[in-house]
Amino acid sequence: MSSLNLDDFTDLIERPDGGVRRDAEARRERRIVPPGSLGRLDDLGEWLAAAQGTAVVRPVGQPRVVLFAGDHGIAGLDVSARPAGSAHELVRGVLEGARPVAVLARRLGVPVRVVDMALDCDPDTLPAAVVRHRVRRGSGRIDIEDALTAQEAEAAFLAGVAVADEEADAGTDLVVLGDISVGGTTAAGVLVAALCGTDASVVTGRGGLAIDDLAWMRKCAAIRDALRRARPVLGDQLKLLATVGGADLTAMTGFLLQSAVRKMPVILDGVVTAACALVGQRIAFRAPDWWLAGHDSGEPGQAKALDRMALEPLLTHGVKVGEGAGGLLALPLVQSAAALAAELPEREPAGEAGEGGDAPGGADADGAAQKQDA
């Protein structure tokens, strides 16, 4: 029997401040540029104001990329273009600065944190800071067995909560959330299909390396089989994650919910983070108000999940590499929205612009009239 009560998040999570958002909207109406001329940047600025609790938006000064890593047993069915159990190679690439997210983060000056939850490698081969939250070595093959035990699921969820608290306590003011996994998109597809009540084929994409038709068919069959195991536990979200999720997805769900509790905004990356967010919405319906969809990766499962949460992607570049790269591309847009909302001056009130000037009826006109009278 788990001691973790997910229902508590419904009470703990508040929506961003609606009164502050109305004040921010009023400020927008007074700015020197016409309302609506900045498009979604206006909406982003007001969202940030509400999230920060201040009508005058503060800069996003301490963003961070947080990546949860894990291997999935389902990858052994050749549903991924990468070999099963090879996610640790991607992690090393990120740590060495050789992956797309590392290059982008270096360019933008954003630190990257990797959290190993279930990599299939010896923990001694990675830095201690990376592996200290690990729950197990690889997650179970979800078409025939549970991804995690109940105890492992609770430990993974609480690890995600702990990481969110660590980031909030360190002053992180916005997180780009991503995953480093092999087989993760298959688990994500199962969660999205189960929570949206759709068939496997509707949510099955081709992943970051564009698997061929045969691999797509194997992936679709794996999601179909895992979906049969997911449907009976739909009423218990932690059990759902234990059955067909995995340690990394379970931790991301905990991270997302606790970030909302701590009022720390999150940019979602691809289909894996979207699936975790969908589980989070089922647990606490107000939580998605704290999240942004960074981009549209083109994965059908992501589109389905975002539509269910009414989240519209900020960018559409078709970036499928994962690892938070697509979500990180949206960060400058959010930072730009914050700067515009905070720094654009307001229009002067009507009637003040002519004071002291040469307009008819001003001081110069009065002086000329006095000379004529003399």
Indicate whether 1 belongs to any domain: no
354 CB-near residues (< 8 Å, 6+ apart): 362
Both 253 and 353 in one domain: the answer is: no
Residues 228 and 365 in one domain: no
Task: Dump pLDDT digits (tens) for 261-306.
Answer: 999 999 999 999 999 999 999 999 999 999 999 999 989 999 999 9
AA letter at 348 = E
pLDDT for 303-360, tens place per residue?
999 999 999 999 998 888 889 999 999 999 999 999 999 888 887 765 554 444 444 4
- Per the prediction, the chain carries an average pLDDT of 91
Cα–Cα distance measured from residue 261 to residue 300, given in angstroms and rounded to the nearest whole number? 29
Helices (H), ranges, the chain: 8-12, 18-30, 40-52, 87-95, 100-108, 128-131, 150-169, 184-196, 200-203, 213-230, 237-244, 247-261, 271-283, 300-309, 325-329, 331-343, 363-373
Q: Which of 300, 86, 295 is nearest to 188 (CA)?
A: 300
Q: Are residues 257 and 352 in the same domain?
A: no
What share of the chain has pLDDT > 90, as a percent?
A: 80
Q: Note whether 91 and 238 are same-domain residues.
A: yes
Q: What does the block give as tokens for 226?
A: 């895992």
Instruction: For 184-203, write each residue's pLDDT tens digit.
Output: 999 999 999 999 999 999 99
Helix (H) or strand (E) holding 69: strand 63-71
Pairing mode, if any, of strands 266-268 and 63-71? unpaired
Q: What was the pLDDT predicted at 253?
A: 98
Place of tokens 């949510």: 203
- The answer to which of 34-38, 153-157, 178-182, 296-300 has the lowest mean pLDDT is 34-38
Note the Cα 173 to chain centre separation in Å. 13
Does 217 fall in a domain? yes
> What per-residue confidence (pLDDT) applies to 357?
43
Domain that holds residue 49: 8-56+346-373
Tokens describing residue 255: 């991270």
155 and 197 belong to one structural domain: yes
Q: What is the pLDDT of residue 116?
A: 98
291 and 210 in a common domain: yes
Q: So which residues are the catalytic ones? A: 323
pLDDT score recorded for residue 344? 85
For residue 108, which of 334, 272, 295 has the smallest C-alpha distance? Answer: 334
Q: Tell me if 175 sits within 8 A of 267, measured CB to CB.
A: yes
- The domain tally of the chain equals 2
Query: Same structural domain for residues 52 and 77?
Result: no
The whole model's pTM is what?
0.90
- Which of 158, 180, 128 lies closest to 251 in space, CA to CA? 158
Among 244, 268, 246, 245, residue whose Cα is nearest residue 256: 268
Residues in a beta bridge with 295 = 315
Residue 64: pLDDT band by 50, 70, 90 thresholds? very high
